[in-house]
A = this chain, B = another copy of it.
Amino acid sequence: MWDRIKADFSNWEAKNPIENTFINNCIFNADSLYESVAFVLSNKISTHLLIVQDWIQLFNKAYNNSDYLRTSLEQDLQAILDRDFACTRISDPLLHYNGFHGLQLQRLANYFFKNGIYATSSLIHDRMISCCSMDIHPAVPVGLGTVIDHGIGVVIGETARIGNNVFMYHNVTLGSNGTIGGDRHPTIEDDVLLGSNTSILGNITIGKGSAVAAGSIVTKSVPPEVLVAGNPAKEIGPAKEFQKKGH
Contact = CB atoms under 8 A, between A and B. Distances in A.
Q: How many copies are assembled?
A: 6
Given A22-B50, A53-B42, A98 B180 contact: no
Contacts of A39: 53
B215 A199 contact: yes
Contact of A199 (B18, B123, B197): B197
A65 interface: no
Interface in A122-159: 122-123, 125-126, 129-135, 137, 150, 152-153, 155, 157-158
- Residue of A12, A56, A133 with most chain B CB atoms under a 10 A cut-off: A133
Interface in A41-78: 42-44, 46-58
B193 A86 contact: no
Interface residues of A, number: 88
A130 B157 CA distance: 21
B16 A20 contact: no
Contacts of A49: 21-22, 25, 43, 51-52
A70 to B, nearest CB: 20
A175 B169 contact: yes
B152 A155 contact: yes
A231 interface: yes
Given A21-B50, A155-B150, A170-B173, A214 B196 contact: no
A25 B22 CA distance: 13
Given A86-B137, A123-B18, A173 B197 contact: yes
A195 B217 CA distance: 12
Given A47-B43, A135-B152, A184-B85, A119 B22 contact: yes
Interface string A75-112: 00000000001100000100111100000000000000
Contact of A17 (B18, B29, B158, B230): B29
Interface string A181-202: 1101000000001011101010
28 contacts: A17-B29, A17-B54, A18-B123, A19-B123, A21-B50, A22-B50, A29-B57, A85-B184, A86-B137, A95-B122, A97-B126, A98-B129, A98-B130, A98-B135, A129-B132, A130-B133, A133-B133, A135-B150, A135-B170, A152-B155, A153-B170, A169-B175, A171-B171, A173-B196, A173-B214, A178-B195, A179-B245, A215-B231
